[in-house]
């Protein structure tokens, strides 16, 4: 019997790469030898996913895939528009979830791949519980030592304030990015609580924040490979993140290394404070412990939240003309809708398009209370 093989073409984003481990797991359980096309620097992370010995192959480009092997492009799984359940033939989407990769896999030809292998496509179940990054004890000890050096014995708060920027605009803050005032507030609060606020370097990557004074109180963790990034996030005393790659790495590292983390007395998923902005709570469907979540959408427009029923899911990736085309039947917009700058909910209410306010309305008191609880708990 011929070996069952399939290769996934993923996005170039770290979070999407981690989320794809759940799809790889589901296919591996069904006997597939799975390959993935993604940037080379991520490959060491993929090779150590908790995949129960399933075969994994990594490729840098399409040309590296063996001739004749089926390649399924899941890189567009984020292109399902917010509230697309209101568009004929569409599917609702609440954020970039591993489950959506499963849907994209089936829609892009994966259903035929399974059928050819005598597997019912309807049985494919992709779960965020299988997003796992397995770290060795030695790697965890290295991550702990790194943070001990950064914090000099004090608790360390790691902050991930920015999401990956859209390719066409790497200078503007988007609907998932913290604003400078919030970044500065987190550092000030951490220091008042006796902790050391830290960012992953290099500092030039935060130029989109504009105001360099918002970073002056932060220790800069030197650039790490993806393995050490995972270990550092696992060992941090607290982690405040927007919906971005390191958030999913942190959750995956705990789910994949939970036993070792508990043995070493490291904090669990509860240490994560996720400021979601335009993303939905379902983005954090990890583990059995709920992540602390500051859902800022409620401060944008409670009326619109009730009317539409969920965060818009706008990640600022789709071009303006695509948003305008898809949303005119839903929200009746006139002119062009700029997905990177305008708030869909305020537009729904019938007013003129406004700048999105998800992150400008973040409740600092709420964040402060959560940090106080996390850091004081670790200090006891």
Local structure of 198: helix, strand or coil: strand
Same domain, 283 and 316: no
Same domain, 276 and 169: yes
The per-residue DSSP string of 8-30 comes to: EE--S-HHHHHHHHHHHHHHHHT
Same domain, 224 and 254: yes
92 vs 107: CA distance, rounded Å: 15
Domain that holds residue 87: 5-130
Same domain, 117 and 9: yes
The pLDDT value recorded for residue 65 is 94
Residue 353 maps to a domain: no
| Cβ atoms of 104 and 63 closer than 8 Å | no
Residue 356 maps to a domain: no
Which residue is associated with the tokens 């036993």?
259
87 vs 96: CA distance, rounded Å: 19
| Number of neighbours of residue 38 by Cβ within 10 angstroms | 24
Per-residue H/E/C for 112-156: HHHHHCCCCHHHCCCCHHHCCECCCHHHHHHHHHHHHHHHCCCCE
The pLDDT value recorded for residue 193 is 95
Same domain, 318 and 372: no
Return phi, psi of residue 305, to 5°. Answer: -60, -45
Residue 354 maps to a domain: no
| Cβ atoms of 4 and 32 closer than 8 Å | yes
Same domain, 49 and 83: yes
The pLDDT value recorded for residue 267 is 84
Same domain, 160 and 290: yes
Local structure of 325: helix, strand or coil: helix
Same domain, 124 and 177: no
The pLDDT value recorded for residue 307 is 40
Cis peptide, bond prior to residue 6, ω within 30 of zero: no
Each residue's pLDDT tens digit, 4-37? 899 999 877 888 888 888 898 899 889 898 998 9
Which residue is associated with the tokens 């890189």?
75
* Domain count within the chain: 3
The pLDDT value recorded for residue 380 is 53
- Parts of the chain with a pLDDT under 50: 1, 82-94, 289, 292-309, 348-353
Interacting residues of 198 by C-beta distance below 8 A, sequence separation 6+ = 147, 150, 151, 156, 157, 158, 159, 218, 219, 220, 221
């Amino acid at each position: 019997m011929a070996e069952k093989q399939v290769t996934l073409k993923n996005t170039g984003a770290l979070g999407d790469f981690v989320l794809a481990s759940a799809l790889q797991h589901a296919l591996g359980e069904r006997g597939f030898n799975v390959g993935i096309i993604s940037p080379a620097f991520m490959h060491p992370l993929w090779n150590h996913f908790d995949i129960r010995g399933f075969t994994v192959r990594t490729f840098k480009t399409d040309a590296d895939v063996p001739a004749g092997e089926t390649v399924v492009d899941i890189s567009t799984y984020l292109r399902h528009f917010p509230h697309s359940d209101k568009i004929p033939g569409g599917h609702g989407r609440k954020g970039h979830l591993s489950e959506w990769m499963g849907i994209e896999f089936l829609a892009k030809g994966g259903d035929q791949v399974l059928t050819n292998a005598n597997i019912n496509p309807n049985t494919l179940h992709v779960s965020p519980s299988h997003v796992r990054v397995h770290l060795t004890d030695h790697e965890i000890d290295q991550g702990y030592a790194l943070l001990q050096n950064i914090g000099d014995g004090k608790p360390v708060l790691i902050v991930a304030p920015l999401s990956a920027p859209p390719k066409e605009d790497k200078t503007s803050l988007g609907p998932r990015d913290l604003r400078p005032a919030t970044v500065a507030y987190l550092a000030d609060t951490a220091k008042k609580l006796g902790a050391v606020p830290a960012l992953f370097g290099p500092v030039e990557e935060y130029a989109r924040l504009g105001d360099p004074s918002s970073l002056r109180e932060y220790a800069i963790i030197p650039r790490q490979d993806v393995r050490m990034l995972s270990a550092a996030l696992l060992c941090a005393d607290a982690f405040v993140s927007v919906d971005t790659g390191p958030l999913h790495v942190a959750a995956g590292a705990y789910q994949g290394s939970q036993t070792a983390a508990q043995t070493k007395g490291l904090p669990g998923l509860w240490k994560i404070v996720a400021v979601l902005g335009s993303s939905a709570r379902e983005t954090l469907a990890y583990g059995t412990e709920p992540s602390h979540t500051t859902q800022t959408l409620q401060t944008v427009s409670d009326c619109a939240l009730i009317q539409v029923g969920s965060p818009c899911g706008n990640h600022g990736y789709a071009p303006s003309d695509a948003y305008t085309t898809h949303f005119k039947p839903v929200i009746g917009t006139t002119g062009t809708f700029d997905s990177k700058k305008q708030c869909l909910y305020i537009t729904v209410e019938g007013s003129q398009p406004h700048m999105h306010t998800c992150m400008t309305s973040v409740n600092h008191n709420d964040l402060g209370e959560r940090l106080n609880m996390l850091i004081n708990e670790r200090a006891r």
